[in-house]
Amino acid sequence: MVELTGKPLISDQDLKNLATGEIVRIDEKAIVTPLAADTARERQLRIERVAEPVDGRRSPRRIAVGADHGGFEMKQELKKLLAELGNEALDLGTNSTAAVDYPDFAQAVALAVARGAADLGIMIDGAGIGSCMAANKIPGIRAAMCYDEATARNSREHNGANVLTLGGKMISNDEMRKIVSTWLSTELTEERHRKRVAKIDALLR
């Protein structure tokens, strides 16, 4: 039996190397991409959906965090917030305000999420736009640049964003805390939205 609980999205990468006939346990509300569903059928994998505990408790999530020099100071505040919310931060740099290239760190965050080393990712650069573009080049990533609570909620509820990008020079730390708290507390639950997200993922075929 293979445990993939805790992953909001089950991709082909999660299943393609499993033994034929394997039992795979996933969360009740997890999204299975069309390509992953095809792989499951081809390899005769048995998917078992597991309901969340009645009390709603869940294990801490691991959040990959990254920043360039323009987002370094906000990243330090972000790590404090994640700890307050009961999440584990996987800090992928940068580690100072010395000039660096944001695509390198956006790629690191996106790869951590795509490869399952982190449940979600948050990347901060000066404006949040370039990192969003870079992260979305990684297969399996749906990065969203959010600038308020409404866009944060929409990116998760409607689009199943798994990487959040922020502009460290565009928002305050207080705004960052509101955006991140909303983003982490919102889930993709409605079937109509899940079907549309599956179509986004199918574009990678």
CA distance 60 to 33: 24
Alpha carbon of residue 146 to chain centroid = 14
Alpha helices (runs of H) in the chain, residue ranges in sequence order: 12-15, 34-42, 72-84, 102-114, 129-135, 149-157, 173-185, 191-202
Among residues 7, 61, 158, 196, the one annotated as catalytic is 158
Q: Please say if 193 is a catalytic residue.
A: no
φ, ψ for residue 89, nearest 5 deg? -95, 130
CA dihedral 170, 176, 182, 185 (to 10 degrees): 130
From residue 126, alpha-carbon distances to 5, 63, 106, 138, 179 in Å are 34, 20, 12, 21, 16
Active centre residues (catalytic):
158
